Chain A
Amino acid sequence: MATQHSRAAARLMITPAVFVLLVWMLIPLCMTLYFSFADYRPMRATFEPWIGFENYGRFLTSSAFTSSIVTTLQMVGGILCITIGGGVLMALLLDQPIFGQGIVRILVIAPFFVMPTVSALVWKNMFFNVDNGLFSYAYKALGMQPFDFLSQAPLFSIIVIVAWQWLPFATLILLTAVQSLSSEQLEAAEMDGAPALSRFRHIILPHLSRAITVVILIQTIFLLSIFAEIFVTTNGAFGTRTLTYLVYQRVLESQNIGLGSAGGIIAVILANIVAIFLMRIVGKNLDT
């Protein structure tokens, strides 16, 4: 395809992008790695450049870490369940012949484009607020005691907010996948006498499995670093402190850089485990 001359030019053209990403990746990451082995607390003017794995030990054995992992898993798991389950149903629904399909699609997709701080604040104040939120009005209208979502069920509240933002993403991708299923295949199954439910189980679901995997992996990567929604609703209180948030607090709030950096490195390792699987799928697709 190419000649020598164009190869050299190509290398030159890729260089800037590779260079800036390499710098972006390596310098801060190496600094974090360096700090993670140091006792570095600027507020107390403490700087001990090498304390071995003490930060890692302290971070991993602290109760805050264990609970943050549990919170993270609950949050990510909850959001994934809602978005995948809801996404499959919405995608199948939107694939049906309906009036005004384009408009419905726009309505469904809209939440994805709402700024995270906006959606968190809108839900927090106008829906979950115990005095003036819409849900409280609804409870009262039904003769029930209003429920204080953000202090009684803070984790659930955040899951609802974030799931609302990501359900459109799952729906859109799964809809794309549903539409790529050939109708001939479904008609063949119908001719073979498969009822609707088993057509879903044996044809649609296997067809969607790849798209579902991709949605799970991509969402996991983004969801592991949820920040703004927690920042403006609970600020990490009431059992909503995820790993990301814990690291943020250690680094910027309590200014224990060494400990926070160790946490940061742990977060990087965990994210990479997910990333490897995603890369493998993406990489396979590149070959075709």
Chain B
Amino acid sequence: MGRITLEKVQKKFGEVEVIPPLDLTIEDGEFVVFVGPSGCGKSTLLRLIAGLEDVSDGEIRIDGKPATDLPPAKRGLAMVFQSYALYPHMTVRKNIAFPMKMAGMDQAEQDRRIAKAAGALNLTDYLDRRPGQLSGGQRQRVAIGRAIVREPAAFLFDEPLSNLDAALRVGMRMEISELHKSLETTMIYVTHDQVEAMTMADKIVVLRAGHIEQVGSPLELYKAPRNVFVAGFIGSPKMNLLGGSHAAAHDCTTIGIRPEHLDVVASGGTFTGRVGVAEHLGSDTFFHVHVDGIAEPMTVRAGGEVGLTHGDTIHLVPQADKVHRFDDKGLRIA
């Protein structure tokens, strides 16, 4: 079981407050992703939960039991590190066995669990190799294997895919998601990549400067970002954020229109501009459009068949019910 609650948890490094008092509940079996730009405190928050950092104030409970003062080993959590943190002098088998050996588990049970984990992670043929002889993806699996065999209350992942190349990352993303489906164990996953967050999470926690900006399911965050920051952070390509007269027309300070909610029309339209860069991907076309009076080029996602290129004039109309409105504090106006 892995229900984790944080109550007024706070972290200071000396005088610097990295995480202001913060409340958060993670339900048993949930896949929660902490996402935010680098330096937002997401890794620190994870390490507080892991027990690798002392909490300055507040309380952490795991399954209702206070865990604030427990050392990492006693919390029943397993962690997969960004650098994998495999023991270079041990074989894959010994790496996976290490937590069980530390727990004093009997050999037969250890072997059974290693075999099961290795089977599930396609590592059976590599058990006698050392980490140095494995590829990045294989090392990643060993790190996960080492976490699984402990049968922890929750898994903690600290940017586990950031050292892999793009293709492997997509594959590992699916594997971790499937693992979650089959184990049904709580997972907390830290990343700066909003695509990972959107594709994997049951619940996303968006952080900025130690503050929680919004908590919600991927679609909630996409459909109803609570403020300008979340609006700009979630979604790819980024939402177009406009101020000035365009916003005034909607009776607010800032409006946000996602690239996929701008329609290309033959003439007229709300915005008229010139195509700067056109990225033809086949399935989609992305246009970066220079509109008079708007400093940043607007991004537009159109169908693959739209044949406009650099220098062409383009007319755009936002889908009326998809325009997000924000007030002068950057908060969403419903």
Give A residues with C-beta under 8 Å from B.
Answer: 1, 3-5
Contact = CB atoms under 8 A, between A and B. Distances in A.
B53 interface: yes
8 contacts: A1-B52, A1-B53, A3-B52, A3-B53, A3-B54, A3-B71, A4-B54, A5-B71
A4 B52 CA distance: 11
A1 B44 CA distance: 10
Given A1-B52, A3-B52, A4-B54, 5 more contacts: A1-B53, A3-B53, A3-B54, A3-B71, A5-B71
Contacts, number: 8
A125 B168 CA distance: 69
Interface string B41-81: 00000000000111000000000000000010000000000
A4 B71 CA distance: 11
A6 to B, nearest CB: 10
Contacts of B54: 3-4
Contacts of A1: 52-53
B54 to A, nearest CB: 5
Nearest to A5: B71
A285 B155 CA distance: 37
A3 B75 CA distance: 15
Which one of A1, A3, A4, A5 has the highest number of Cβ atoms from chain B below 10 Å of its Cβ? A3
Nearest to B72: A3
A278 to B, nearest CB: 30
A207 B71 CA distance: 47
Contacts of A3: 52-54, 71
Contacts of B53: 1, 3
Contacts of A5: 71
Nearest to A3: B54
A58 to B, nearest CB: 53
A91 B208 CA distance: 51
Nearest to A7: B54
A1 B72 CA distance: 13
A130 to B, nearest CB: 59
Leading 8 A-B pairs by shortest Cβ distance: A3-B54, A4-B54, A3-B53, A5-B71, A1-B53, A3-B71, A3-B52, A1-B52
Nearest to B51: A3
A233 to B, nearest CB: 49
B56 to A, nearest CB: 11
A12 B52 CA distance: 21
Contacts of B71: 3, 5
